[in-house]
Structures are given as structure tokens and as C-alpha cells.
Copies of this chain bind each other. A is one copy, B any other.
Amino acid sequence: MNRDQLIKTIRDKGSFLCVGLDPDPEKLPPGHSGPEGILKFNKAIIDAVRPYAAAFKPNTAFYEAMGAAGWEILGETLEYIGPEHFTIADAKRGDIGNTSRMYARTFFETYQFDAVTVAPYMGSDSVGPFLSFPEKWAVVLALTSNAGADDFQLCENSHGVPLYARVITEAAAWGSPENLMFVAGATRPEMFGALRERAPEHFFLVPGVGAQGGSLAQVCRYGLNEDVGLLVNSSRGILYASREKDFAEAAAAEAARIAEEMKSILRRKSLL
């Protein structure tokens, strides 16, 4: 899916919600164990939230923990999502050039995701291979939503520029707003202004709203641009809104609630 199609998807739905498909075996409702149970869970969630979501983002960790069977259901989940939603493999890959190329093939050819998240630590040649597939995207980690982000991402160089800001400035030059996004965590909305200044046109994928405590209003205040420019993710807050039989209805209600808030923000900003 290219940038225009992504923007159209968001505008048509009035929602820039990305639903994280991270099925944790310890949190699933009764009757959903094993790979087949998890696939059933994913399908129920996808059906429930489809109208409210612009994107889906399975995190590969939850699939590969099941071994080969997990990769089977990752593929089946992707197929079930279909072409109407933007799809992101949250894989946080990155390696030397010839190896990153294999990862890019994995997520763009073996599995036909629109985007894959990529870790920047190894630099340009580790990200480059993800940028050479038409209508495919690399989503580079800049400022993540976890406490450990402080350890290195906030470290400043001698000019007072933190690492996450250098990642944005450097990586922006490796691709374009047509094939590169950044991960920017919702738990640090006070830094969104600076992020947006450094990458005015790029989409930001924003984790951390919901279970991790980030505020949608704050993220939008600093993060929206004239093409919306945000995909805000919720995983646990939606998937486990209920852990009983009514999990799908509860997920739909939570996704609808977030999408409604998004729609009203987009209207207020004259972006719809």
C-alpha cells in the first residue's frame, strides 16, 4: 500500500488506529489455546475491530514462540486481514546488508506485509534493504515507549542532540516519506513536537496508548500533520478488554471508542 492509499484508508475510516495482534497465551479467553486457538482468536478480533482500524500490526515474537506452527498462523492471519488494511510486521529486525535483505524478503515476499519495523542500531546498510521494495515500508525505531528507552535513546551528543533525534534526521535521508516511517512512543508526548519538527512529512507509528498509559490527545496535539501522519497502536487495551467469552464485543467497543475520539480530533483539526 503506498502513501496515498494509506492516507485515503485513514480518511475513509476517520481513524488512524492500528490494532496490535499480539496474542499472549497467558491472557487469551478460554477455548483459545494452541496455534489453532490463537488463529481463531485473531480472526474474531479482526472481524470485531475491522471497521474501526486503519492498520493491523502482528508482533512476530508472539508467533515465533510457537515455532513453525506460529509462522503458519502468522501467514493465515495476514491473509485474513486482506488488502483493505495497512499491515505492519512488528519484527524489529536489522542486520548487516546481505542479511537484512533476507529479512526484507521474508516480510515483503514470503509474507506480503506492507511494512516492517526495523531497529536502527546497525545503521544505514541494515535499513537500506527494506527500502528497495515498491509500495513497501520500513518503520524505524526512534523513540520507543518502554522505560529502557532512557538508557540509550535519550543520550545526548556533545551538541545536546539525543540519539533518537539523530536517528530521525539520519534515517530520513535513507528513504523518503513514501517508504519510511518512525516509531515514536506515546508515553513521551512532550517530545513529539521535536520529533515532528525533524520529520514533518513522515508517518509516525505510535505505540504506548492504552496499557502503557500514553494519551491520544497529547500525541495528536504534537504529532498530527496535514496528511494525518500518525498510526496510533493499541494492542493489549483492545485484545484483552475482556478475557471472557465476550472478548470480541469488548474489543470492538474499545476500538470503536478510540476511533470515535480519533474522528472527533480529525474533525476539530479540519483533517476530515
Contact = CB atoms under 8 A, between A and B. Distances in A.
B22 A99 contact: yes
Nearest to A117: B95
A97 B146 contact: yes
A244 interface: no
A47 interface: no
A155 B153 contact: no
A67 interface: yes
Interface residues of A, number: 62
Interface stretch (A8-16, A118-126, A253-261): A118-126
Contacts of A167: 152
A122 B141 contact: yes
A93 B96 contact: no
Contacts of A121: 119-121, 141, 144, 152-153
A148 interface: yes
A75 B66 CA distance: 12
A94 interface: yes
8 contacts: A66-B110, A67-B111, A123-B147, A123-B149, A125-B146, A125-B147, A127-B148, A152-B167
Interface of A: 22, 24, 59, 61-62, 64-72, 75, 90, 92-100, 102-103, 105-106, 110-111, 119-127, 141, 144-153, 155-158, 160, 163, 166-167, 170, 207, 212
